[in-house]
A and B are shown apart, each in its own frame.
Chain A
Amino acid sequence: MGINPTAGQIFKALLEGFWVNLEVFAVTLALAIPLGFIISFGSMSKFRPLRCWDKSDSQILRIISKFAPIKLVTRTFVWIIRGTPLMLQLFVVYYGPGLLFQTPFRSPMTAVLIAFVINYAAYFSEIFRGGIEGISKGQYEACQVLGMTKSQTFFKVVLMQVVKRTIPPMSNEIITLVKDTSLARVVSGVTEILHGAYNYTRMGLIWPLFSTGLFFLAFNGILTLLFGYIEKKLDYYKG
């Protein structure tokens, strides 16, 4: 950037910065949704290797028989990820490998993406779990008596209903994600929009910082319209 950048140059720099935010946004969304589904299946897992002690006379064995390792691991994971700040997770992912194993990240962006995907997958997984568990037992039984397999049941009957139910909470999370992408600046070398705008304040310019808000507002405005449209599209049926 020059000594006295023109407004046009500043605007261009902000736009380039926002492109980084959009990259973080798009990659996180694309990877966190499938990962979130996988985690939600984990936290609903009924796998109990010690089920055979279910009807044991010993109360201790009966308690041990309830041990569900997959569910325990995924729910602990979700608890940790949702229970700690995203900024802390960014620091841990970025500095952790270098400080602990002497293998620092080559690309700061990769570290940012890993932290974001993990964080958002944890939140999404809880939304999906709520959506899947909200589908009535009768839907599954109807599929079963029609001879449908488990995967047919999920993909042909359950998934569509889960999508409809989870659009409102998901749009909430996704809009938060847009704004959270500005946290990427804590990893040095990731010049997202706020990072750039902040530098102008040192030159005594405040308007670039304020105008970053316009970028977020505009993009979230588009997303709000998009989700409204999707909700309306799915409104052709109830239940």
Chain B
Amino acid sequence: MSNDVLVLAEHRDGAVSDVTFELLGKAREIAASWGGRTVALLLGQRELAAELGAADTVQCAEHAALETYNPEAYEAVVLQALEQLEPRLVLTSTTTVGLDLGAALSVRWDAPLVSYVTGLSAGDGTALATAQIYGGKLLAEVELSGPRALCAVLAGSFPHAAGRGETAPTVETLDATGLLDDLRTVVTSVVSPEGGDVDITAADLLVSVGRGIGSQANLEVVEELAEALGAPLAASRPLIDQGWLPKARQVGKSGLSVKPKVYLMFGISGAPEHLEGMRDAELVIACNTDAKAPIFDVADYGTTVDLFDLVPELVSRVAG
């Protein structure tokens, strides 16, 4: 066992993901208080190691099967790295990579896992994690006092500035020979988002609608407002899954991240997955009839007036 904190670096489209810098910043803080090192684990794309200067060392593994994310290949290599390096704490994100690997590693590396972590501090030989549960309606405080642990951290929980290092880290090579010869999982293609009819990421003003709209027929109401405002209409995941609006309109973790000057939202409760896609909006105005909806903890302005009463009033003022 060491006192090291290991961060599983993530990258997409040839760039290190923002959440990785958040994790590195937190890892440095915890490692410093334990007297350990910060280690980044980078699979594929070794050239990105230079960006991970907040880590003391970057462990790189390269192999054809690691060029893009392959759950089985990643898991095999990360597991071997954990067995060799024996970090005290491992940080992943709650992206697809984190969701796939975290729980599987918890079983295979025999370490407790806390998922959807939003707060993390080092105690004397322990770590205390705070995690979201029940869609953010409750928090759980979990003490990790064993010799090893995993935390899957919700993006946006920690500042990323502390994880952007100036100096070049020491880069070491992990040998993945023999681990990846007989994979049962093959990635056949990776497809980046296709351009939709509108680009919701480029808009200064965005009207966004969620489950509270009730039915596809009701969408007309907000479509009319979006048109009157000259703003694209975006939506939360449930509406996209219903097929009511195209995928290119989806804001959130699995959709697009937007940062408009004004984000005007109707009938969206504010699940963590949605918040991930809009937390950089400048001004957030939320309409939801549930006064306890978590979105009101995030929005700048809110109202519990029914959207079906409010939207026609907005339309008449904007169009008039």
Tell me, yes or no, whether A binds B: no
| Chain A contacts to B: CB under 8 angstroms | none
| Chain B contacts to A: CB under 8 angstroms | none
